[in-house]
Structure formats: structure tokens, C-alpha cells
Amino acid sequence: AIHQLFLEHIVCHLCLLTLRCMSLSEFFFCVFGMTWNDLKVCFFTLLQGVKKPFEEVIKANIGDTHAMGQRPITFFRQVMALCCYPLLLDDNKFPEDAKNRARRILQSCGGNSIGAYTTSQGIDCVRHDVANYIQRRDGGIPSDPDNIYLTTGASDGIVTILKLLTTGEGRTRTGVMISIPQYPLYSASIAELGAVQVNYYLNEEKCWSLDISELQRSLQEAREHCNPSVLCIINPGNPTGQVQSRQCIEDVIQFAAKENLFLMADEVYQDNVYAEGCEFHSFKKVLFEMGPEYSSKVELASFHSTSKCYMGECGFRGGYMEVINMDPEVKAQLTKLVSVRLCPPAPGQALMDLVVNSPQPGEPSHQTFMKVPFIFPYLFQMSDHMLEVFHFHKTRQNHRNWPDF
Ligand SMILES: Cc1ncc(COP(=O)(O)O)c(C=O)c1O
């Protein structure tokens, strides 16, 4: 699991460890913030021939696989091209299944155009496809399309839920428990919203695993000065790459139930599991397998995205969140909150649809799409390479050559 480490996130994390920002003026987002700007200056001075104690700056500030050479999935781009320029529907270079997908998406768009606003919660047929995907992924546990919100990448969903849950003043101010190391979106959003950042530390000695005793310590200490009511989990982890065991997830859910915490499960790396013996378990699945005592009570929002793994389509800003056990009145507020921003980008929603609803056996694009698993060894090699570089090994290699899929 440790092979999922990406250097960029380690760099971000190291910067963030020193941060405790509680206001917008102190808000600091390492991924695109000042650290990155400083590095850019460094990069240009090197180009101008200024001598530094190093020869090269590796741009690793963000997990952007296409920027690093990963190629897009042909089927995805065909459907997106057809959606954006429907005259291509008459072009016989495009396979029929790609055309059918594009027609179906376009029919759900206002004026049959991908350029129209969509409903704020997201295109109906896409939300249904997401729910079907979750149900398949979770071994048949039902998913209700009404609980699905399409988002502008996972980031938007995460910030929206944090916004929804942040309330109170002084000692009653919402505390948000986040792992350290973390992904900088969390600390930055907590600062922006004026919530209280409550750190819990992952156990490096045990491959960055999560100890319930550490959660308990962190919660108890936080209760002295705020109202910790949200617990954020990144699984598989970023930047640490750990994949939580089923038992660990069960323990976390029990802890959340006992302490009345709202669980946020960031599962954007659910397909990035390479290490032998590691398996992704969704929080939703484990929650429902624990029986009604938990599945009818624990509030959960889980997040996924088009940005990572074999798709790597982060520029499209596609994502979704599923909310479970949210009080209907709170859910109405959530719907109101997302409606203020009108809707997530329609192309991102269309792409999300393709991710959750890939070509099926018998469809013309199925055979080509079946090559997708061949991307995984490349992803594994890249993360391995990042580890080598991070540990300053001498075995420097050039970028891998990415094949087409
Ligand atoms: C753990 C984690 N969550 C969320 C995101 C944001 O993803 P998106 O591009 O879907 O907004 C990232 C991006 O790197 C991430 O690493």
C-alpha cells in the first residue's frame, strides 16, 4: 500500500505539518499556493543558469496523471467529443456504443446540449447510474439516486459538507477531525470556514494505520475547546497510501456511532490499490454489513471522483457524493446549498457517468476497454519510481512511456 505514495503529496504534507491556520488570511493551500509559487521561482532561476545545490526541480505539486503522461481512455474521449459536437454522431469513425451513450446523456440535458445548466443535484440519469455502480461495487447493498449529489470533483463535495456542518461559536464551534498527514484541502477548507482543525495522527510504525486510541485521545483533548462532530477519513490514504482493513473501518464506525460523529469518507483512491493482500472496502458497505444498529444511525458522506487512477481526468472536474442517514431537514439545506452554485460542470457529470457505466460485454468498445487493467502496472511503477526519487536513490529513470488504452 505504501507504493501509492506520491511525492507531491508528501511535499504538501511536510509543509502542512507546520500549519495551524484559523482564518482566511492565514489560509494556506500548498497544492497551488505559496509553496508552489516559491518552487516555480526556483524552477525559473535554474533555467536561467543560476547555480543551486540541486540541478532539477520535479513538478510534483499535485496528482495530475495526464500532466505526467498518462493517456486518456479512448471510449471516454469519444463520448465526450460526441457530447460536445453532436454533428459527429453522423461520423462512422465513432463506435455505436459511444454514440448511444452520448445520445442518452444529451437527451437528459436541457435543449439536448451539454452546454446547458443541469439540475443542481446533477443529471438524473447520471445519478441513477452512480447509484447502480455503488450497488454493484458494494455487493448489492442498495443505493438511492436521491442520496447522490454530483459534484465539481470530490473537492467540491467535501467543502460543501464541511460548510453544511460548521456551526457554533467558541467552545461550541464545530471541530473537524482530520488525519495527519492529510490532504491539504481539509486544513485549508477548515480554515476558510472558521471551523476547528482537530488532528489525529496516523501510526507510521504500523504502515500509517489508524488507531482508535489515537482518535479517542484527539477527541477528548478537542472537547476542551470545541465541539468535535465530524470525522474525516481518507481511504485509501493520501499522502500515506495506507489501505484500511475491514476491521479498522468497523472500529471507526463503532467509534463514530458511540461519539455521535458525522463520518466523511474520502474514497477518491478506491481504484488505486496495488499491494498484495490489500483490498478496498467502502465505508458504506461496511456500515450496512454491521447491521441496522449502525446502518440506520451513523451519518456518512462518501466521495468519489473522475480525477484519479486509470481515468485521471481531473481537468473535467467530475465527482459525486453519497449521503447516508442525513436528517431530511439537513438534506434539504444541502440541496439548497448546492443550488446556489447552480450545477457542477455538465461535461464532468457526463464523464462521471462513463466511469460508473463502462462498456459492457457485447458492446463494440468493450474489448478495447478491457485493456484498462493494463494501466495498473504503469501506475504501480510510477508510484514506485516516486518512492525511489523521494528516498534519493541514485537509480534515476526517465518518464515511463504510456501506451494508449
Ligand atoms: C485525498 C484526496 N481527496 C480529494 C482530492 C480532490 O480530488 P478532485 O480532483 O476530485 O477534486 C484529492 C486530489 O488529489 C485527494 O488526493
Q: 34 and 147: one domain? A: no
Instruction: Of 131, 127, 134, give the one whose Cα is nearest residue 151.
Output: 127
Does residue 234 line the site of ligand 1, with CB under 6 A?
Answer: yes
Q: 148 and 225: one domain? A: yes
Residue 258 located in a structural domain: yes
User: What's the structural domain count of the chain?
Assistant: 2
What's the CA-to-centroid distance between 38 and ligand 1, angstroms?
22
Q: 37 and 150: one domain? A: no
CA-CA distance, 139 to 302, in Å (whole number)? 17
Q: 36 and 116: one domain? A: no
**Sign of the torsion angle spanned by Cα atoms 274, 230, 198, 151:** positive
Q: How would you write 113-132 as a 3-class SS string? A: CCCCCCCCCCCHHHHHHHHH
The residue out of 356, 377, 398 marking a domain boundary is 356
Residue 228 located in a structural domain: yes
Residue 75 located in a structural domain: no
Residue 387 located in a structural domain: no
Does residue 316 line the site of ligand 1, with CB under 6 A?
Answer: no
Whole-prediction pTM: 0.84
Residue 348 located in a structural domain: yes
Q: 45 and 186: one domain? A: no
**What's the CATH code of the domain at 172?**
3.40.640.10
Per-residue pLDDT of the chain (405 residues; tens, 9 = 90+): 334 434 444 444 444 443 333 455 656 666 666 666 777 777 778 778 888 777 777 666 678 888 878 888 999 999 999 999 999 999 999 999 999 999 999 999 999 999 999 999 999 999 999 999 999 999 999 999 999 999 999 999 999 999 999 999 999 999 999 999 889 899 999 999 999 999 999 998 888 889 999 999 999 999 999 999 999 999 999 888 889 999 999 999 999 999 999 999 999 999 888 777 889 999 999 999 999 999 999 999 999 999 998 888 999 999 999 999 999 999 999 999 999 999 999 999 999 999 999 898 888 888 887 877 777 777 777 777 777 766 644 333 333 444 555
Residue 184 located in a structural domain: yes
**Sign of the torsion angle spanned by Cα atoms 267, 187, 294, 334:** negative
Q: 152 and 37: one domain? A: no
* Cα dihedral 116→119→125→131 (10° resolution): 140
When computed from its CA atoms, the radius of gyration of the chain, rounded to whole angstroms, is 22
The residue out of 356, 377, 395 marking a domain boundary is 356
Q: 147 and 36: one domain? A: no
Residue 145 located in a structural domain: yes
Does residue 65 line the site of ligand 1, with CB under 6 A?
Answer: no
Does residue 179 line the site of ligand 1, with CB under 6 A?
Answer: no
Residues spanned by the domain of 38: 4-69
**Neighbour-count burial for 186-224, b at 16+ CB within 10 Å, e otherwise:** bbbbbbbbebbbbbbebeeeeebbbeeebbeebbeebee
Does residue 307 line the site of ligand 1, with CB under 6 A?
Answer: yes
Residue 322 located in a structural domain: yes
Q: Which residues contact 266 (CB under 8 A, 6 or more apart)?
A: 154, 158, 183, 232, 233, 234, 235, 302, 303
Q: 51 and 126: one domain? A: no
Given the CA of residue 154, which atom of ligand 1 is nearest to it?
Answer: 10
Residue to substitute in 13, 155, 182 for testing ligand 1 pocket (most ligand atoms within 8 angstroms of CB): 155
Residue to substitute in 8, 268, 303, 304 for testing ligand 1 pocket (most ligand atoms within 8 angstroms of CB): 268
The residue out of 69, 95, 124 marking a domain boundary is 69
